[in-house]
Structure 1
Amino acid sequence: METATDGQREIRRTLRDLLGRYARPTPEGYDPALWARMSGELGLARLALPEFALACEETGRALAPSPLLATTVLAAPLVAALGAPAQRAELLPRIAAGELTCALAAPGGSLAHALGLTGDNTTGAWSGDGRAGGVQARPAPGGDGWFLYGEAAQVLDGHSAGLLLVAAHTGGFARSRTLLLLVRTRDAGPGLVRTRHAGLDPTRSPAAVQLRDVPAELLGEDPADPADITRALAAAGRTAAVLLAAEAAGAARGALDGALGHATARERHRLADLHVRVEAARTLTHCAAREPGPGPESGPLALAQALDALRDAAGEAVPPHDADRYGRRATADALLFGPAGRLRARAAERTGLLGPAGEAAA
């Protein structure tokens, strides 16, 4: 791994100190004051990807609950890529300052598929495929806005976000297409019902979002080409994979450090192999973060490696409470964004090593 710069060391030191003192789950899921400091004062949204990955490594090490993933990693890039100039001018500064949190509602049940991490997101199955279920969009009378009807079962931070980005179908089954629409939750009215799940990992906050004729506005000035939407989602997915890998690698290092702190000399020798695997995951993640783009395979492969390292490190963590915390994060992230085997299979499919069905290419 490259030697950290003075600026990178300062980011790590500041975040580690801040998270060590203040990062705790709350009834809302995260501490809004801590989030305001992380996003506003530290300017996480303005960091370049290598420095952002370093910051995510620290949030992972602390298992810090925050809207970082849902807001800054997933939603903000979609607003930047597809939003109308007025939407970008209004929303992005508020997101960067920590004043507005967001959530991406992909109703098909697989966020990883919607982001192109574990499947081809040019197929419609990830967003409900226009059939019964999912979310349906219909133009408001007079053409001023839209109304949404349906539900999404697993929306990360959906219970507390001030802005929902909802993938919805319009046009009926025969001519169905997926749109991305904005729901400003403060103005949504009684038709919006959000229920936070207990969740496997209390530092991640999935919610069920129900929409019953909820007013929405199109993301962008005109309905985007479905191909533009899937490309924007896939681009967000590639970056998200790098940052998720950084969080998982940081969590793995935190679990390993705890194990080493309680280990005997013989146990330390046994943990040496795990140390190599954790450091390999960190190195692969930082290499992916330095790639322009990043490449379509480097992020998911780094995430697969980091998830495996976190799972193994969680099994060694002590005391038992730490083992449970790290184990829950490992399992929850594998369910949300993996598992590691599917991430690797999709990367191999994209490179031509495997066919669509997962068989070796001729």
Structure 2
Amino acid sequence: MDAAFSAEQGEIRRTLREVITKRCGPDEVKAAARTPAGHDAGLWTALADQLGLPGLAIPEAYGGVGCTTAELALGCEELGRALAPTPLFATAVLAAPLVLALGTEGQRAELLPRIAAGELTAALAVPGTGLATALGLVGDNRGDWAGGGRAGGVQARRAAEGAWRLYGQAEQVIDGHSAGLLVVAAHAGGFARSRTLLFLVREDARGMTRARQAALDETRTQARVELRDVEAEVLGDEDADVPAALAAVGDVAATVVAAEAVGAADRALESTVAYVRQREQFGRAIGSFQAVKHRLADVYVQVQAARSAAYYAAWAAGAEAAGFGGQGAERAGGLALAQALDALRTAASEGVQLHGGIGFTWEHEAHLYFKRASSDELLFGPVHRLRARAAERADLFAEGGGADAVAVAVASDPVSPVPVPSDLDLDPDPGPGPASLGKAV
């Protein structure tokens, strides 16, 4: 494994950070999240036209850039730093890979170029509130989460040759209220041939009602989708292994969310360090107190460990997709996500505490990061179930679990010492005792 970034990857990160820094301050993020669409349409156009971000991981044959999960994760890490509300995750991470993996050639040729150009946004809708289950992140997704032929879920029935009708409801659909295309998971076949299929539902479909839901994290919009005898088109072949495709997308989604969380945790720590350097108490900056240094040193080490896990997961997923390695990639995403969510929750909590009274107010940006940490765990976790599922898939606790399981667990959960850089010096006027965070560690 080569841990160094290529020149192209570095350019993606640098360019995206410049755009995000100019257009995504805390006030701009809040304003964009509170628009009817839930995001800044102008920013989305810029990301698509100038950077090609929606098509970053789409093959060049379909109008994309043809990069791997690693580049997509790096891009989402930068978006995560600012908590920039965009349809990128729902469109490029959840929906587009399913169209690419399962769609017919006609469906790919019609939809993927429009997605890559930023003209079409998409969302994945699964019954109820079972997104983490459907993606195979917290358990086996071959159960009856799509409805199982009983009341509830989303049911699909064949109306005519090649035509289907959907009936049911999905909640917590990320960016579902504004997406131009919905990829809906539904139960088909009744009890005789019970199976889960994916269907394409256009935004103008009759019988579909969509409403934005009040969510803990307003920067990641969610919607309730109600389907009442809605005409739909099956995605790909009716005999496709949908659970396997969803699990593969879940691994990549976990990696991308982990990278987002690392970016958010890094930004939360950065703003907290800047604040404790300036805030004075008892005649000196509070960052000069050893207790504060120790707390932030612990956060820094946790964030760096999470970054290492996220980068490994992104590299492994990209290597596996390219067919030249990536052993254990299917397990790395969930473990990286668990560690990143832990790091974000810790960084956000410490940020709120160390900012004092201002950190508890809605006007300050600290609460946005705390809400993102809590919301992501509700959507994709909880953390202990992410780890339990990864251990289960690796046979970690089976009799004679094997060296491969141990190797994956170690590679995905690094605990090696992390050097603390000198720019995290918290004491602007060194006095007696440790003068820097590095010395405190």
Indicate whether 1:272 and 2:287 are aligned: no
Distance apart, 1:3 and its partner CA:
4.2
Counterpart residue type for residue 46 of structure 2: R
Bigger CA drift: 317-326 or 238-247? 317-326
User: Residue 133 of structure 1 corresponds to which residue in structure 2?
Assistant: 152
User: Residue 35 of structure 1 corresponds to which residue in structure 2?
Assistant: 44
Contact 1:200 1:332 in 2 (8 A): yes
Distance apart, 1:144 and its partner CA:
4.1
Counterpart residue type for residue 160 of structure 1: S
User: Residue 54 of structure 1 corresponds to which residue in structure 2?
Assistant: 74
User: Residue 376 of structure 2 corresponds to which residue in structure 1?
Assistant: 333
What SS does the aligned partner of 1:140 have? strand
User: Residue 171 of structure 1 corresponds to which residue in structure 2?
Assistant: 189
User: Residue 301 of structure 1 corresponds to which residue in structure 2?
Assistant: 335
For structure 1, list consecutive stretches of 5 or more residues without a partner in the other structure.
356-362
Counting aligned pairs with the same residue, the percent is: 58
Q: Residues of 1 paired with 2:293 and 2:71: CA distance? A: 31
Q: Residues of 2 paired with 1:6 and 1:120: CA distance? A: 39
For structure 2, list consecutive stretches of 5 or more residues without a partner in the other structure.
57-66, 277-286, 321-325, 399-441
Counterpart residue type for residue 57 of structure 1: E
Contact 1:150 1:212 in 2 (8 A): yes
Contact 1:260 1:268 in 2 (8 A): no
Distance apart, 1:352 and its partner CA:
1.2
What SS does the aligned partner of 1:209 have? strand
1:113-132 to structure 2, matched below 5 A, reads 113-124=133-144, 126-132=145-151
User: Residue 267 of structure 2 corresponds to which residue in structure 1?
Assistant: 254
Q: Residues of 1 paired with 2:192 and 2:10: CA distance? A: 55
What SS does the aligned partner of 2:230 have? strand
Q: Residues of 2 paired with 1:129 and 1:154: CA distance? A: 20
Contact 2:133 2:139 in 1 (8 A): yes
Counterpart residue type for residue 182 of structure 2: L
User: Residue 8 of structure 1 corresponds to which residue in structure 2?
Assistant: 9
User: Residue 244 of structure 1 corresponds to which residue in structure 2?
Assistant: 257
What SS does the aligned partner of 1:37 have? helix
Distance apart, 1:268 and its partner CA:
3.2
Counterpart residue type for residue 221 of structure 2: S
User: Residue 284 of structure 2 corresponds to which residue in structure 1?
Assistant: none
Contact 1:316 1:323 in 2 (8 A): no
Q: Residues of 1 paired with 2:220 and 2:115: CA distance? A: 19
Larger radius of gyration: 2
Distance 1:40 1:48, change over 3 A: farther
Bigger CA drift: 165-174 or 74-83? 165-174
1:290-326 Cα distance to aligned partner (Å, 9 max, x none):
1123612111100000000000000122451222110
Q: 1:211 aligns with which of 212, 216, 227?
A: 227
User: Residue 358 of structure 1 corresponds to which residue in structure 2?
Assistant: none
User: Residue 85 of structure 1 corresponds to which residue in structure 2?
Assistant: 105
Contact 1:82 1:219 in 2 (8 A): yes
Q: Residues of 1 paired with 2:37 and 2:127: CA distance? A: 23
The TM-score with structure 2 as length reference comes to: 0.76
What SS does the aligned partner of 2:80 have? helix
What SS does the aligned partner of 2:190 have? coil
Distance apart, 1:177 and its partner CA:
1.7
What SS does the aligned partner of 1:180 have? strand
What SS does the aligned partner of 1:258 have? helix
Distance apart, 1:32 and its partner CA:
2.0
What SS does the aligned partner of 1:181 have? strand
User: Residue 238 of structure 2 corresponds to which residue in structure 1?
Assistant: 223
Q: Residues of 2 paired with 1:65 and 1:353: CA distance? A: 37
Distance 1:40 1:236, change over 3 A: farther
The answer to which structure, 1 or 2, has the higher relative contact order (CA under 8 A, 6+ apart) is: 1
Q: Residues of 2 paired with 1:103 and 1:241: CA distance? A: 16
Contact 2:176 2:182 in 1 (8 A): yes
Distance apart, 1:128 and its partner CA:
2.2
The TM-score with structure 1 as length reference comes to: 0.92
Contact 1:36 1:97 in 2 (8 A): no
